[in-house]
Amino acid sequence: MINAIVVMGGLSLFLGLVLGFAAVRFKVEASPLVDKIDAILPQTQCGQCGYPGCRPYAEAIARGEADINRCPPGGEEGVRKLAELLGVEPKPLNAAHGVVKPKSVAVIDEKLCIGCTLCIQACPVDAIVGAAKQMHTVIASECTGCELCMPACPVDCIRMVPVQEDITTWKWKYPVIPLKAA
């Protein structure tokens, strides 16, 4: 009986020491701030914040260079989450970087498209399929609605279509009733 206790206790102690040593030897740093900020940003890669993508903006916020209210696709919700993460006061979106628009995707009018590939080069998330002198089309599930393709098109054939909510994408709306002081 005592034998069993000693054996199990000794084994557990030894293994605990091995694991303790391994925990120190193979230590991994926790997720850095930039990754946490980047996880909050909407990954639209539109450049409205003034930086060439969501990751550079996240890095700028982490360095303290950029303010948190420069991302319209993230909306007020995104500003609030960033403020919570960084421990600062949330502020309204900076209108100099754009306004909040309803979620839309780009649609190419196939009657007008000339197959110039300029929109393909402009798209930051590679959502447009096509080749030179072939019909171009936007893959709706990949499009983030950043609108970078619209100024690129020489025949102006791209329009933004708001995404309709259907049974598969419907979500509960956050309550938008502002709480007024009595």
Q: Which residue ranges make up the site for other proteins (CB under 8 A)? A: 3-4, 7-8, 10-12, 15, 18-19, 22-23, 26-28
Output 27 or 173, the one with its CB closest to other proteins: 27
Output 7 or 88, the one with its CB closest to other proteins: 7
> In whole angstroms, how close is the CB of 16 to other proteins at the nearest point?
8
> In whole angstroms, how close is the CB of 25 to other proteins at the nearest point?
8
* Rounded (to 5) percent helix, strand, coil in the chain: 35, 10, 60
* Alpha-helical segments (H) within the chain: 2-25, 33-40, 54-63, 75-86, 118-122
Q: CB–CB of 133/118 below 8 Å?
A: no
Output 3 or 169, the one with its CB closest to other proteins: 3
> In whole angstroms, how close is the CB of 14 to other proteins at the nearest point?
9
Distance (Å, whole) CA 53 – CA 75: 16
